Structure 1
């Protein structure tokens, strides 16, 4: 799964890298502890228009919710069932995006039940582009909220020692296909990252608190690992 992430890339660098028009309400960066229900940076494309870089709530709100917390918090969508689940099936067909992150966290437990966090990044130093789906929701007063979920798949290789699920990482060569700029056929992209794409290292337990902040959260403890 993907339940916490970090982003340190400047706004203008993100807009340039993804060739996207930035909105005026983007969340501040850097942020080394992005949590569910926070706003994230997401690249989308509406119809035949240009790409946009905007803010969306992390935690997709289905159209039938009467309020944003009217049901489960949908921060992830499983690749295996995303095309069938009522909350996701229209979005994965019509509203796909790329959530940008510098890295993400997963946890293991020690012998005493303590939670040890691990920080994952691309081994080439480039930012991560997670496969995402999004939804616009409106309440009875027509107050609108745009929200998203990150698509996950089964982890593979040595990453399974940390967690059995992983976010779907879209390679730069596939960004256009995932965003719908190159027609249909994006389903095969919902797979685990290729060998060697992801690396990880253990970090301190300060990030176990959703109120923690600062670059020290991603400082390594011990050796780094790679897929």
Structure 2
């Protein structure tokens, strides 16, 4: 699953990494919650980073609904909410790292940050939808999920579809059958995870301190391997 994300790379680095123009009002964010805008590259405009509201709204949903923040990649082609977007509206959801929570014996769940080591940002596979509203067009997006890899599995039973860099263009330009083959647990060995403070639980907390390792826990994956 992916229920919270971040994007805080400098604008110039994002431009170079994705070969795309960055919005002039871009600002780093460390704690992006559902219903907030996320930066995306859509198949409609490959050379520009745009924004879409996180929570895909199918045509039949009310414009003020929360929408679907995640879609199971195994069934997206069959579900009415995602069928049209799966056929023709893939996108990249840009991220510096996402968060998930691990149950513990006592107290609140322990949040973890997942990130790709030594990487400016990475792309999660997404689907987007455009709706006409009383205030104009509204673009919304969902993040596709798949089975967890060895890094995510100890913490959660689902993970976002993270695309290797060499597959990002294919995701945006290929047909549904080829894109389906890309929906798998992230195969790279550069994904890392470490526990962070429960301050991330409150979306109003949005500062660099969010990504600092929790003082009471050992960072890294030593406890899992």
Provide TM-score, normalisation by structure 2: 0.90
- What pairs with 1:30-49 in structure 2 (closer than 5 Å)? 30-46=28-44
8 Å CA contact retained: 1:176, 1:182: no
Q: How far has the Cα of 1:169 moved from its partner?
A: 0.5
Unaligned runs of 5+ in 1: none
- The residue that corresponds to 2:58 in the other structure is 62
Distance 1:9 1:195, change over 3 A: closer
- The residue that corresponds to 1:73 in the other structure is 67
Equivalent-residue separation in structure 2 for 1:197 and 1:59 (angstroms): 28
Distance 1:12 1:108, change over 3 A: same
Equivalent-residue separation in structure 2 for 1:88 and 1:132 (angstroms): 11
- What pairs with 1:1-227 in structure 2 (closer than 5 Å)? 1-24=1-24, 28-46=26-44, 50-69=46-65, 73-139=67-133, 141=134, 143-180=136-173, 185-221=178-214, 222-225=218-221
Distance 1:158 1:171, change over 3 A: closer
Write the deviation string for residues 79-125 of structure 1: whole angstroms up to 9, x where unpaired: 11011111111112211111111101110122124121100001343
Flag the structure with higher strand content: 1
Deviating more after overlay: 101-110 vs 10-19? 10-19
- SS in structure 2 at match of 1:17: helix
Deviating more after overlay: 163-172 vs 149-158? 149-158
Distance 1:223 1:50, change over 3 A: closer
Q: How far has the Cα of 1:51 moved from its partner?
A: 2.5
Equivalent-residue separation in structure 1 for 2:153 and 2:164 (angstroms): 21
Unaligned runs of 5+ in 2: none
Q: How many matched pairs?
A: 220
